Each structure stands twice: as structure tokens, then as C-alpha cells.
Amino acid sequence: MNITGPAGYRILTAMLIITALSCIATPAQAISRAYRAQLERSGCSQLTDADGTCDVRKTRAQNQANSVNAPASSLKLDQLIGKSIDVASGQLIADGWKANGGRWYHDNRVLTLTVADNLITAVSLKHAGHASLTLKKE
């Protein structure tokens, strides 16, 4: 195919634009629209909903009022990833978590750790009545 002159330039430009546009993908939606709306209305994030520090069924103002009275937890899920299971276990026990059958329990929360070579590679948190959250090592 011989592309020369103004017509060839327009065809080549159009092909480049189509190629560029075909490379653009819409992001995957990991949560439903209804859940996203609940998060926005409540002022919660997926993490705060999963760890129980925020309730998606309440308004932003109600959650802010409750957060002032809520006890602080030293558990930071993202900080567990990459730590040795021994160090993480000590932190979890100090924070009031109880191990049972390979899972950790605290109030209505269940924590599951994925371990490879004695290091935590993923953390899953489920809070009764709330969405679950999984964080993985990248």
C-alpha cells in the first residue's frame, strides 16, 4: 500500500488516532455503583468500612461524630504486608486479636493472613455486615 500526499497523510493520521484510542481502556469497577454511593454518602472508604471504623449505613456526619468517641486501633493492614508472621502476630496480640484455626478474630472482625517464606504477602479483613477487603503485596 502506497500512502503519499495529503490523502495518505489523513489516512495515516486516522489510523494512528484509532490505534491510540483502542489502547485506552476504561478502568475496572471493583465495587458496585450502589456501594460506591454508600461510600460517598457515608464518608467511608473501603478500608474503614471493612475494618469497622466507619459504617456505610450512616451519614458522613454520624460517622464523624462516632469517630471522635471510637477507640483508636493500632492495626494498619497495609503495614502488615511484608512483615514476618512472628512480628505481625505479636502486633496483633498486642492489639487484642485472638488466633484460631489460621484466622485472627477481634470483635466482629476476621483477619486472614497469607504467608509465604515466613512473610505476609496478603491480608484479608472481613467485618460482619460490611464489605471485605484484601490487600496484597505488589
For residue 72, what pLDDT is reported? 44
The pTM of this model reads 0.51
pLDDT tens digit sequence for 9-65: 677 777 767 766 665 554 555 678 998 899 999 988 887 787 777 888 888 888 777
CA distance 133 to 5: 57
- Cβ contact 130:49 at 8 Å: yes
Give residue limits of the domains in the chain. 31-136
When pLDDT is cut at 50, 70 and 90, the band that residue 137 belongs to is confident
Instruction: Count Cβ atoms below 10 Å from residue 3 Cβ, excluding itself.
Output: 11
pLDDT tens digit sequence for 51-99: 777 888 888 888 777 665 554 454 677 788 899 999 989 888 888 889 9
